[in-house]
């Protein structure tokens, strides 16, 4: 593995609680596997996977202050559902603290929770890898096995399944749904129906 990837992995080990670090490494290797499967950039996928949750444990008040200071726009949904903010703030830290200049990596961190319409390979990869990495369980993801298999066969269909599952889960639990996820679901529904 290249030295920069090893360095980021070590930094995440120091930064994150043990369980989140294990998930983070799971996402990085899942993303690397999908990159290999589709002939895409393995190193970029590893870096994005390792950094995707770097801002997960910033207390909400501090996260809001940091976003304001950095000029990051906060949507109504993000204001009410603080968990969503760690994507945007994570991308900001990836750039300012970990020296990532690649816009595609930064964007894949921003949208790893919500997804978005017309994602690049890397954006789809990190969104999906976060959903299906080996430590995830069937408890909140009833069709996880199907999505895992599909991810290696048809990335767009797997993204659609994961978005559909996520939105159904949020609805069942009366949780707020980000408009970006609704747009993403609509986009991939049309895309997969066209084959
Ligand atoms: Fe996350
Ligand atoms: Fe994650």
- What is the phi/psi pair of residue 118, to 5°? 50, 55
Which residues place a Cβ less than 5 A from the ion ligand 2?
53, 130
Who wins on pLDDT, 194 or 103?
Answer: 103
The domain of 35 spans: 3-194
The tally of domains found in the chain comes to 1
Of 132, 108, 117, give the one whose Cα is nearest residue 188.
117
The conformational region for residue 178 under phi > 0 = left, psi -120 to 50 = alpha, else beta, is: beta
SS3 59: coil
Task: Among the bound ligands, name the one nearest to the CA of residue 110.
Answer: 1
Classify the C-alpha dihedral 175-177-181-185 as positive or negative: positive
Q: Tell me how far apart the alpha carbons of residues 117 and 184 are, in angstroms, rounded to a whole number.
A: 4
Q: Which ligand is nearest to the CA of 132?
A: 2
Dist. CA 56 → ligand 1 center (Å) = 6
Q: What is the C-alpha end-to-end distance of the chain, expressed in Å?
A: 37
How far does the centroid of ligand 2 lie from the alpha carbon of residue 194, in Å? Answer: 30
- Ligand 1 centroid–CA 38 distance in Å is 23
Structure tokens at 72: 């990051």
- Model confidence at 1: pLDDT above 70: no
Residue 53 Cα, ligand 2 centroid: separation in angstroms?
5
CATH assignment of the domain containing 142: 1.10.3210.10
| Gap from CA of 11 to ligand 1 centroid (Å) | 17
Structural element, H or E, at residue 171: helix 155-172
User: Percentage of the chain with pLDDT > 90?
Assistant: 86
Question: What's the rounded mean pLDDT across residues 50-65?
Answer: 94
Dump pLDDT digits (tens) for 135-174: 999 877 889 999 999 999 999 999 999 999 999 999 999 8
Which ligand has the shortest distance to the CA of 135? 2
Cβ–Cβ < 8 Å for 155, 121 = yes
Please give the pLDDT value at position 78: 87
Ligand 1 mean position, distance from CA 25 (Å): 13
> What average pLDDT does the chain have?
95
Q: pTM for this structure?
A: 0.96
**pLDDT at residue 90 above 80?**
yes
């Amino acid at each position: 593995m290249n030295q920069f990837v090893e360095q980021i992995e070590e930094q995440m080990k120091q930064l994150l609680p043990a369980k989140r670090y294990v998930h983070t490494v799971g996402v990085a290797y899942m993303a690397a596997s999908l990159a290999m499967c589709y002939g895409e950039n393995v190193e970029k996928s590893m870096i994005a996977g390792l950094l995707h949750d770097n801002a997960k444990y910033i207390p909400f008040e501090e996260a809001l202050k940091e976003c304001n200071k950095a000029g990051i726009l906060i949507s109504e949904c993000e204001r009410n559902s603080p968990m969503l903010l760690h994507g945007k703030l994570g991308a900001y830290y990836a750039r300012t603290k970990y020296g990532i200049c690649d816009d595609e990596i930064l964007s894949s961190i921003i949208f790893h929770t919500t997804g978005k319409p017309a994602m690049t390979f890397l954006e789809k990869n990190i969104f999906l890898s976060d959903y299906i990495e080996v430590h995830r369980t069937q408890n909140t993801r009833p069709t996880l096995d199907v999505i895992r298999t599909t991810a290696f066969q048809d990335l767009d269909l797997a993204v659609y399944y994961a978005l559909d599952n996520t939105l159904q889960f949020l609805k069942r639990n009366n949780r707020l749904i980000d408009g970006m996820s609704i747009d993403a679901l609509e986009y991939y529904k049309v895309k997969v129906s066209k084959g």
